[in-house]
Amino acid sequence: MTRRIDDYALIGDLQTAALVGRDGSVDWLCLPRFDSAACFAALLGEEDNGHWRLAPQGAGSCTSRRYAEDSLVLETLWETRTGTVKVVDFMPHRDQAPDLVRIVEGVSGSVEMSGVLRLRFDYGSIVPWMRRADGHRVAVAGPDSVWLRSEPPVKTWGQRFSTCSSFTVDAGQRVAFVLTWHPSHEPRPTLVDPFEALEHSLADWREWAARCTYRGPHRDAVVRSLITLKALTYAPTGGIVAAPTTSLPEEIGGVRNWDYRACWLRDSAFTLGALLSTGYVDEARAWRDWLLRAVAGDPADLQIMYGPAGERRLPETELPWLRGYADSAPVRTGNAAVDQLQIDVYGEVLDSLNRAREAGIPAKPHAWNLQLSLLGFLESTWREPDEGLWEVRGPRRHFTHSKVMAWVAADRAVRTLEGDPSLRGDVTRWRAMRDEIHAEVCAKAYDPERGTFTQAYGSRELDAATLLIPRVGFLPPDDPRVVGTVEAVQAELLHGGLLRRYSTAGASVDGLPGEEGTFLVCSFWLVDALRLTGRVAEARELFERLVGLCSDVGLLAEEYDPVTGQQLGNFPQAFSHLGLVGAALALSDEDPNPAR
């Protein structure tokens, strides 16, 4: 049976990540990077597409699981008829090569364990050649090589293109397995000591989590979200991927399946705000530096997303040999939305750099010139229709959120020049641009009959993104147009008490068939909008419900289906966790930017 998306837990080494199911099976792992081809792809296909299960003989789902406090070390417990056993899964911060470590600990009695390892390179399409070397199992195919060893050695054998193992663990005993990847043309990397690596990993994560300055009532959920964001960080560059997975569906059996293993510029302002507000200045600086490197060049070539190291080519391809999660095909790698025009990203970039400047992060010498270049291009482009923040695959429109964020770009430039007269720039020019955008949005995006801003100029549809209008300072929270928009969005987009992004009924604006779940970050935006408009009790009630949707290990996907009670979409999702952190900060009055 297909496991629920939230039945998985995340482990990672700040360059890639794996998903571990409640049955002890690692069903997703890309090596050596987040966006590399998967060697375990059962998540999107069958077990024969690659997985690694380690559990008591004949056992099903675990009895319980958790992360060791404030870490990314997963502890899975099975209570069996003969005894109790714990499996500890983690990926130590990388030195030379990526390692996946699995340690079996006997808690009580005696438990017979079994393991099945099916390595399948290139998203489950290549069965590697297996051999023994130096007492270890080695899998090789093309550029990839993986070594499997255990300490102490256990009985292993090959069966049906798999490596099987069985052993008995008694109370107090520990057996460790280490899976190590390296390029097949290079020598085997230095072996890590799994038990020392565990102690270092626990210490590293706990030290990092202790830096969190948030002390509000939901500290556990906030810290878990921050750890998840850190786990989605590509350490060599500071880039943060939107999710470690591809093609987990927004609708079971549907076609809304996208690759999120890239870094979206749109996330930048939310990310910087969350990191700076919780004490993680170094991570914020690294993300700011990644942002500057990624967007450098001709402003006309600005993309909405880039690879973890700033790569620009992200061609979208379908993998027909994978049936998709719960038969939700196609499975895609890359993302064609990279070529879309999304005007709002210019606003997000300039807002992000303004946040970094206000927080005291030293400016790069070329950063202001880059911002002026982006603003100059936006000056001649903001009047154009675009695909908008939801990356619609229908016709371009004059999306309200895109125009509002163009206003943000001009506004942040004005504020920067007014605050620092030493910077060059025509403040009168950008002030005029800001005023022109503001007047046009208020005239063309507002429906006075219904008392709400709409999704696009002249449209009847509503959009949850209009909830950000007071957040970015376009209008004050007590403006009747803001209050009316919050009420209208609730009236038309709520589904089971949570928000959809927009309506997908009838002739959908996004050009795609089918439905989708409620979009979790939109519900967190609603929390903030309710707070800003004075409905604090409702905001707190909604926030409590949203925190309650987190999985048993505190993770959130992109969407949630209130009918089936299942999380949907790529998992875990940075945007959802950013929403949680932002809403928690706002409700605790620790938000440094309550409304601009």
What is the tens place of the pLDDT at every residue in 409-450? Answer: 999 999 999 998 889 999 999 999 999 999 999 999 999 999
How many percent of the chain have pLDDT more than 90? 84
- Residue 30 to residues 99, 161, 306, 341: CA-CA distances in angstroms? 12, 20, 18, 30
**Predicted confidence (pLDDT) at residue 357 exceeds the cutoff of 60:** yes
Mean pLDDT of the chain: 94
Q: 323-343: per-residue pLDDT in tens?
A: 999 999 999 999 999 999 999
- Beta strands 144-151 and 74-79 are unpaired
The structure tokens listed for 427 are: 């403040």
> What pLDDT is stored for residue 591 in this prediction?
56
CATH assignment, 5-208: 2.70.98
pLDDT by residue (tens digit) across 173-194? 999 999 999 999 998 888 999 9
111 - beta bridge partners?
169
Nearest 10 degrees: CA dihedral of 202, 204, 209, 212? Answer: 160
Residue 341, token pair as written in the block = 């025009």
- Residue 448's pLDDT is 96
- Rounded Cα–Cα distance for residues 564 and 576 (Å): 19
Helix and strand numbers (H, E) in the chain are 13, 28
Give SS3 for 523.
helix
Query: What pLDDT, on a 0 to 100 scale, did the predictor assign at position 505?
Result: 57
What pLDDT does residue 378 have? 96
8 Å CB contact between 276 and 354: no
Over residues 489-494, the mean pLDDT reads 96
Does the pLDDT value for residue 510 go beyond 90? no
Which architecture characterizes domain 211-587 according to CATH?
Answer: Alpha/alpha barrel (1.50)
Confidence of residue 132 (pLDDT cuts 50, 70, 90): confident
The domain spans of the chain are 5-208, 211-587
User: For the chain, what is the radius of gyration of the CA atoms?
Assistant: 25
Lowest mean pLDDT among 30-44, 336-350, 506-520: 506-520
